[in-house]
Amino acid sequence: MPRSAAVRSDRPEDRPEDRPMSPGPGPGPVVARPGSGPVTGLRGADRLLRFPGIRYGTAERFARPVRAARHRDTVDATRPGPICPQLPSLLEPVYGPQRDEPPHSEDCLFLAITTPDLTGTRPVMLWVHGGGYLTGGGTLPMFDGGRLAADGDVVVVSVNYRLGALGFLAHEGVSDGNLGLYDQILALEWVSDHIAAFGGDPANITVFGQSAGASSALVLASVPRSRRLIRRVIAQSAPTLATLPTREEAFAAGPRFAEAAGGGDPRTLPVERILEAQARTAQWNADPSAGTGAVPFRPALTEPLGEPATYERIFRSEPVPDLVIGYTSDEGRAFAVSAPSPVPEEAVAELTRTLFTEPAHRTGRQLLDAGGAVFLYEFGWAPADGGFGAVHGVELPFLLGTEKAWAGSPVLGGTDWAGVEAGGRILRRSWAHFARYGSPGIDGFAWPRWTGDDTSVRLIGR
Please report the DSSP string for 243-312 in residue order: TPPPHHHHHHHHHHHHHHTTT--TTTS-HHHHHHHHHHHHHHHHSGGGT--S-SSS--SSTTT-S--SGG
> Is residue 94's pLDDT more than 90?
yes
How many CA atoms are closer than 13 Å to the CA of 93, on its beta-carbon side? 10
Mean pLDDT of 390-415: 96
> Is residue 434's pLDDT more than 80?
yes
Q: Which of 191, 180, 217 is nearest to 86 (CA)?
A: 180
CATH of domain 3-460: 3.40.50.1820
User: Where along the chain do its domains lie?
Assistant: 3-460
Q: Which of 112, 137, 303 is nearest to 224 (CA)?
A: 303
| Cα–Cα dist 389/382, whole Å | 5
Mean pLDDT of 447-459: 92
| Strand pairing class (122-128; 200-210) | parallel
> Is residue 260's pLDDT more than 50?
yes
Measured N-to-C along each axis, helices 271-286 and 247-260 cross at an angle, to the nearest 10 degrees, of 120
Residues sharing a CB contact under 8 Å with residue 168, sequence separation 6 or more, in sequence order = 133, 162, 177, 178, 179, 180, 181, 297, 298, 299, 300
> Is residue 195's pLDDT more than 90?
yes
pLDDT band at 302 (very low <50, low <70, confident <90, very high): confident
Output the CA–CA distances (angstroms, integers) from residue 390 to 94, 201, 296, 298, 330, in the order listed.
11, 34, 28, 26, 5
Residue 158: the pLDDT is 98
> Is residue 313's pLDDT more than 70?
no
Residue 11: the pLDDT is 35
pLDDT: is 61 or 26 the higher one?
Answer: 61
pLDDT band at 462 (very low <50, low <70, confident <90, very high): confident
Phi, psi of 55 (to 5 degrees): -80, 130
Residue 14: the pLDDT is 42
> Is residue 203's pLDDT more than 90?
yes
pLDDT band at 284 (very low <50, low <70, confident <90, very high): confident
Task: State whether residue 408 is helix, strand or coil.
Answer: coil
| Cα–Cα dist 214/233, whole Å | 9
Tens of pLDDT along 106-151?
Answer: 999 999 999 999 999 999 999 999 999 999 999 999 999 999 999 9
| Burial per residue of 179-188, b for 16 or more beta-carbon CB atoms within 10 angstroms, e otherwise | bbbbbbbbbb
Report CA torsion sign: 81, 84, 87, 92: negative
Contact between 89 and 95 under an 8 Å Cβ cutoff? The reply is: yes
Residue 305: the pLDDT is 79
pLDDT: is 16 or 253 the higher one?
Answer: 253
Where is 29: in which H helix or E strand?
Answer: strand 28-32
Apex 429 CA angle, 460 and 218, nearest 5: 70
| Cα–Cα dist 217/284, whole Å | 28
| Cα–Cα dist 237/243, whole Å | 16
402 exposed, middle or buried (CB, 10 Å; 0-12, 13-18, 19+)?
A: middle
Task: State whether residue 386 is helix, strand or coil.
Answer: coil
Active site residues: 211, 331, 392
pLDDT band at 287 (very low <50, low <70, confident <90, very high): low
Contact between 130 and 393 under an 8 Å Cβ cutoff? The reply is: yes
Least confident of 292-296, 363-367, 444-448: 292-296
Residue 51: the pLDDT is 98
Mean pLDDT of 36-48: 96
Mean pLDDT of 241-263: 86
- How high is the mean pLDDT of the chain? 89
Mean pLDDT of 172-180: 94
> Is residue 13's pLDDT more than 50?
no
| Strand pairing class (374-379; 28-32) | unpaired
pLDDT band at 409 (very low <50, low <70, confident <90, very high): very high
Mean pLDDT of 310-328: 74
pLDDT band at 294 (very low <50, low <70, confident <90, very high): low
Q: What is the percent of the chain where pLDDT is above 70?
A: 89
Residue 58: the pLDDT is 98
> Is residue 252's pLDDT more than 80?
yes
> Is residue 21's pLDDT more than 50?
no
pLDDT band at 16 (very low <50, low <70, confident <90, very high): low
Least confident of 49-63, 161-175, 241-255: 241-255
> Is residue 6's pLDDT more than 70?
no
Mean pLDDT of 425-447: 96
Residues facing 200 on adjacent strands: 122
Report CA torsion sign: 370, 371, 372, 373: positive
